[in-house]
């Protein structure tokens, strides 16, 4: 779902603190830790509503054969499995054997094994023949993948003529955080866009990249999941953003402590609000 960073931005290594860049080598304990974050995010009502919307837009339904690349813990894979059964199938692909172990456990727990196949592989060189799928999905995967542009022709290749490719990914600068210190918050958000994500602006290029790969009827929708839970995914990510800003040398340790005090005060007062804009971009392979 997330691989190795290799891009450079303004003289530094972009995404060098990306949580997902080394997931292919993660042991089972680390995979479980990261999977817990993915599952926490997936449970948010706004995230669930976004999934329903983009799967509807792609026409995922009974009998569909779907590829879900960078499947991670399998949150999206399981939703697709519920839609395509009893005759359809979803193939979840990930570069991490440990993540596939976690995904398999969750799929079996929910009784969905009959509709799911899990495969080890790289989204930039898919281990499938041409035209194998009705739909290919990449959900919050490509922004964490160096050389992600190479993945898009691969996604197009493996869907049938008339099939659809859909990519849902975050915009690195499109962060919502309620905090009293606007200037420091902006510095932390910019640092996380550059250092916490391999390519925080990839989503903005997706319509052009899908068109260059030959897709037609390209659509774009924006989704901005938000939450108020002080123990939720975006609250946890806010603390990670501040830590990365220190690691990158963008803010000082004293500024981090001051910012976290402000964040915790907002949370204690019930004023926390966090979220992030995502773009869903999709298109159809010509007949």
Domains of the chain: 8-172+197-226+277-284 (3.40.50.150)
| pLDDT attached to residue 20 | 83
What backbone phi and psi angles, to 5 degrees, belong to 129?
A: -80, 170
| pLDDT attached to residue 272 | 97
- Residue 166 CA to its chain's centroid (Å): 12
| pLDDT attached to residue 25 | 85
Two structure tokens written together for 185: 């918050």
Rounded Cα distance, 110 and 114, in Å: 11
91: number of Cβ within 10 Å: 22
45: number of Cβ within 10 Å: 9
Contact 93, 74 (CB under 8 A): no
Q: What's the chain's length in residues?
A: 287
Nearest of 285, 139, 133 to residue 210 by alpha carbon: 285
Residue whose structure tokens are 């931005």: 9
| pLDDT attached to residue 8 | 35
Instruction: Report strand pairing: 116-120 vs 89-94.
Output: parallel
Rounded Cα distance, 191 and 169, in Å: 18
Encode 250-286: b = buried (16+ Cβ within 10 Å), e = exposed: bbeeebbeebeebbeebbeeeebebbbbbbbbbbbbe
Residue whose structure tokens are 């200037």: 183
Two structure tokens written together for 52: 């329903």
| pLDDT attached to residue 13 | 66
| pLDDT attached to residue 22 | 75
Nearest of 99, 139, 105, 104 to residue 121 by alpha carbon: 99
Contact 228, 235 (CB under 8 A): no
Considering only the C-alpha atoms of the chain, give the largest distance between any 2 of them, rounded to a whole number of Å. 59
Nearest of 47, 101, 106 to residue 82 by alpha carbon: 106
Q: Which mean pLDDT values do the consecutive 10-residue runs of the chain (287 residues) have?
A: 35 76 87 95 95 97 98 97 97 97 98 97 97 98 95 98 98 97 98 95 97 98 97 96 96 98 97 98 97
Instruction: Please report how many Cα atoms fall inside a 13 Å half-sphere around the Cα of residue 257, on the Cβ side.
Output: 3
113-138 pLDDT, tens digit each: 999 999 999 999 999 999 999 999 99
228: number of Cβ within 10 Å: 15
Strand-pairing partners, residue 192, are: none
């Amino acid at each position: 779902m997330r691989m190795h960073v290799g891009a450079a931005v303004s003289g530094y290594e972009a995404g060098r603190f990306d949580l997902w860049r080394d997931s292919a080598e993660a042991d089972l304990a680390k995979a479980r830790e990261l999977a817990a974050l993915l599952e926490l995010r997936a449970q948010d009502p706004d995230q669930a509503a976004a999934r329903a919307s983009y799967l509807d837009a792609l026409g995922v339904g009974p009998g569909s054969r779907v590829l879900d690349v960078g499947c991670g813990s399998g949150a999206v894979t399981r939703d697709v499995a519920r839609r395509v059964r009893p005759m359809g199938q979803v193939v979840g692909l990930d570069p991490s054997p440990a993540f596939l172990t976690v995904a398999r456990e969750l799929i079996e727990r929910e009784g969905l094994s009959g509709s799911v196949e899990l495969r080890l592989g790289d989204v930039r060189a898919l281990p499938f023949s041409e035209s194998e799928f009705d739909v290919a999905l990449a959900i919050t995967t490509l922004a964490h993948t160096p050389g992600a542009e190479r993945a898009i022709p691969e996604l197009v290749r493996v869907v049938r003529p008339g099939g659809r490719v859909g990519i849902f990914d975050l915009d690195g600068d499109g962060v919502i955080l309620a905090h009293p210190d606007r200037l420091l918050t902006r510095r932390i958000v910019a640092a996380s866009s550059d250092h916490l994500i391999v390519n925080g602006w990839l989503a903005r290029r997706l319509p052009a990249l899908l068109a260059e790969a030959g897709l037609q009827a390209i659509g774009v929708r924006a989704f901005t999941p938000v939450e108020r839970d002080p123990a939720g995914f975006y609250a946890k990510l806010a603390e990670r953003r501040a830590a990365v800003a220190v690691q990158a040398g963008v803010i000082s340790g004293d500024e981090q402590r001051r910012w976290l005090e402000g964040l915790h005060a907002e949370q204690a007062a019930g004023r926390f609000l966090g979220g992030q804009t995502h773009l869903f971009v999709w298109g159809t392979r010509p007949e």
